[in-house]
Structure 1
Amino acid sequence: MKLPQIGDWRDFAGLARLQQERLPAVLAAAERSPFYRKRGVAPLPEQPLTTKQDLRDAYPFGLLACERADLATYHESSGSSGEPTASYYTESDWTDLAERFARKWTGITAADTMLVRTPYALMITGHLAHAAARSRGATVVPADNRSLATPYSRVVRLLHDLGVTLTWSLPTDTLLWAAAARIAGYTDFPALRALFVGGEPVGPARKARIGRIWGAPVVEEYGATETGSLAGECGHGTMHLWADRAVFEVQDPATGELRPDGRGRLVVTPLYREAMPLLRYAIEDEVEISYRSCPCGWHLPAVRLLGRFNGRLTQLGVEELVFGLPDDFGVWFWRARYDDARVRVEIEVADRWRAAAVGELTASLRAALPDVEPTVVPVPPGGLVPHRLLTATAEVMKPRGLFGPGEDWDSALQYY
């Protein structure tokens, strides 16, 4: 199966034709799964949404549209918004997954060393980046962020000593590395040429701050375990949906109306999926989609990721105000609690900048939310991210049965 590549069309009309040509095969594949056979398959504009609850109810293989013998991998989501959901992929699916992730404007080449700092577990994220990097010939450093064997102190040593050129992580992780590097005395990472980030919304202010800290561009990625990569950033800073590999719609949360652009909850129909076809899958993330020309010339729709709403305030909104503070204040870590009348924001800040940071952030919050009373609470460095987290050494993850004189054998046969 030949997969479309960026540049295969010259306008949005060509992109729409590609989608329409592919949809009959997508609908036919869906009918092979028990879930869609029972529900029924209709032309896409008439097809009801597939929800996360549908995926949970179909656990584990109710959406399987191929033979079990044809599966390459099985995955489950993190369950950050409820119970985890299952997903599975064939080798052909993995070709599509890896190609989509590798669509980085910076490129991934055989000369690169890429540190992958997302889970190598049931979630797809670490495996996805690993497969994409290897498909381009890059060297992979598998620094899983859910393993006690790779603490932050070890990550910054690897970044420095191996001459890592590319990284893949949560945006927050890049700030934790910077804090750990500062404590460990590392000041120079000359080989680093780009930081790939995803897994949480990141606004322009935080992205720019991370780029200044590391002296390298921050390239955003968006996707899900159930779908793989759905969007990536071009060299002009626009996040583009991979609309040559999936059909995207937005649902108005108030009316339920589905349309190709505007603001609402994202709905996606992958176009090249063997093991687990999905029709109008409701991801539940808030987005804004627009069809506008971009200097990059990709002719793919632009998307803004807005996160999940809590009333009128979003995490992204607070983040933009926090990272809008001057770099000199050194405010990298924060947390907030919000209700309709009040918001309390805690920030890590050194004593010398405490009063200025509190004053500026309080004023910014009041301007952004004039009818909400803000409280900004400064805590000293290490108050939100303990220094012991940044300096801990690797823990041995092997059981032991034989101990010498004076050793603590209460650890016998335990992981420690």
Structure 2
Amino acid sequence: MKTSIWNRHFETMSRDQMKQIQSERLRETVDRVYYNVPYYRAKMQEAGVGPEYIKSADDLKLLPFTTKQDLRDNYPFGLFALPMSEIIRLHASSGTTGRPTVVGYSRRDIAVWSEVMARTLTGAGVGKDDFIQIAYGYGLFTGGLGLHYGGEKVGASVIPISGGNTKRQLQLMHDFGSTVLACTPSYASYLAEAIDESSLDREDLKLKVGIFGAEPWTDNMRFEIEKKLQIKAFDIYGLSEIIGPGVSFDCEYQCGLHINEDHFIPEIIDPDTLDVLPEGELGELVFSTVTKEGLPIIRYRTRDLTRLHYDTCKCGRTLVRMEKCTGRSDDMLIIRGVNLFPSQIESVLLEMDETTPHYLLVVERINNLDTLELHVEVEDRFYQDKISELQNLGKKIKNQIESTIGLSVNVKLVEPKTIERSEGKATRVIDKRKMG
């Protein structure tokens, strides 16, 4: 499969040209936040930095960080750099704990969002002849409308079905001839199951591409979805605080996600010391927006862990590439002093034929000792086996996981379809240590 490039000027420019554009735009953004956002002005004055200190993108390290808590503390509109009369769209995070984070867009911000999503879709080979079934949530969540505007910009036929109502998803997928599915990877996996259980024949569907994001997923899960849906699965990355989906995207070579760095400058920092790390080092991803008007963000700590690579991709893009995130620093579990990411468990399970990609980690503290229990669904054909064979399978899973993570784990095999499915972001961990 060969894909084209949406905006060749920006996506293939030299590193020197990119740095020059980033530096110009960063200076403008720092001016904007210093003079229009009292919070940023106070933070910069506290750090002893003014706009005159920022000469180029190399000076980013002089500026203070922004966190999700900062957005919550300034709820709802305290970090906006424009008057509300110029804000034409509001989105917000789910706000599962405390206040949601609110983001505002000017008319130009919406145009930028459409542009970066057009690049994203073009990177996956999507164009004017495609039918995009958008099963991300619409509304305050940025996923649905982000894909929607990008799809319209590349000239595709957009099907704004939103999340849920799986039976209708399958009906329209068949009747409308959807060629592209956009949703979370966990929902894509669920739809694959639903197709198997329906009267539909996979050969009657025209699906060829999946655009998946909004939650961490492993390469093994990618292969699993590609096999079950018979598609090419592309990863996308975004945060509502930065713009929504469209921050970075897969190309056909899938060797890292291209960051639209003419709009979002990335850094990698040590999450403990906050020092900027050299190229290729694993650390926390930090973004500064340099074209946003409504809610410009300086050095936003994403909590996502990844590496950056600046060499030219085989696709011809010179945009810096980020590796698929290994997890989030705030999703990391610390169990008996060992750092554990759910994605490590997922990778092991997806290498096994006997299990499904549906699992749940339950962490408890019993008699002052942390315990880890894994609930995992067994493929239907294996669940019918003798009890002794299931016991052997449990031991096999236990051994492989313990050798991978270096922790003891209790494995509980459960019947197919018993772990709750999600039409949005999947719940993988229940940490009972934080309850009560």
User: Structure 1-normalised TM-score?
Assistant: 0.84
Deviation of 1:106 (Å)? 2.6
Q: Is this contact kept in 2: 1:34–1:64, CA < 8 A? A: no
C-alpha separation in 2, matches of 1:332 and 1:45 = 40
2:87 pairs with 1:71: yes
Question: Unmatched 5+ residue regions in structure 1?
Answer: 391-416
Match of 2:271 in 1: 253
C-alpha distance in structure 2 between counterparts of 1:141 and 1:61, whole Å: 32
- In structure 2, the partner of 1:313 is 340
Residue in 1 that maps onto 2:374: 345
Query: Aligned partners of 1:330 and 1:71: how far apart in 2?
Result: 48
CA distance in 2, matches of 1:357, 1:88: 51
**2:350 aligned with 1:323, yes or no?**
yes
Using the size of structure 2 for normalisation, the TM-score is: 0.81
Q: Does 1:89 align with 2:105?
A: yes
26-35 vs 269-278, which moves further: 26-35
- Give the drift of 1:350: 3.8
Report if the CA contact (8 A) 1:89-1:275 is conserved.
yes
- Size of the aligned set, in residue pairs, is 378
The residue number in structure 1 matching 2:426 is none
SS in 2 for 1:102: helix
- The answer to whether the Cα contact below 8 Å between 2:43 and 2:64 also exists between their aligned partners in 1 is no
The answer to whether the Cα contact below 8 Å between 1:263 and 1:288 also exists between their aligned partners in 2 is: yes
Q: Is the 8 A contact 1:7 1:298 kept in 2?
A: no
Contact 2:398 2:410 (C-alpha < 8 Å) held by counterparts: yes
2:7 to 5, 8, 15: 5
Of 126-135 and 336-345, deviating more is 336-345
> Is structure 2 residue 27 aligned with structure 1 residue 24?
yes
- Is the aligned partner of 1:215 residue 2:215? no
1:82-137 per-position Cα deviation (integer Å, ceiling 9, x unaligned)? 63111100111111111112223233322211111112121211111111111122
Q: Work out which of the residue numbers 103, 123, 129 in structure 1 matches 2:147.
A: 129
Q: Which residue of 2 aligns with 1:332?
A: 357
| Aligned-residue offset at 1:366 | 2.1
Give unpaired runs (5+ residues) of structure 2.
1-5, 45-49, 55-59, 384-389, 424-436
Q: Residue 220 and residue 209 in structure 1: after superposition, are their counterparts in 2 closer, same or farther (change >3 A)? A: same
Q: Which residue among 42, 56, 59 is the counterpart of 1:38?
A: 42
C-alpha contact (below 8 Å) 1:64/1:275 kept by paired residues:
yes
What amino acid is aligned across from residue 403 of structure 2 in structure 1? A
Alignment pair present for 1:111 and 2:129: yes
Partner Cα distance (1:275, 1:116) in 2: 26
Q: Does the 8 Å CA contact 2:269/2:283 hold for their aligned counterparts?
A: yes
AA at the equivalent of 1:264: G
CA contact (8 A) 2:380 2:416 kept: no
Say if 1:153 and 1:181, in contact at 8 Å, map to a contact too. no
**Structure 1 equivalent of residue 172 of structure 2:** 158
The answer to whether the Cα contact below 8 Å between 1:49 and 1:281 also exists between their aligned partners in 2 is yes
Q: Which amino acid aligns with 1:380?
A: E
RMSD of aligned residue pairs (Cα, Å): 2.3
Moved more, 253-262 or 196-205: 253-262
Which segment is superposed worse, 180-189 or 131-140?
180-189
Q: Supply the AA of the counterpart residue of 1:314.
A: F
Q: 1:364, 1:332 → 2: CA distance?
A: 16
Going from structure 1 to structure 2, the CA distance change for 1:240 and 1:369 (only over 3 Å counts) comes to: same
- Residue 340 of structure 2: SS of its match in structure 1? coil
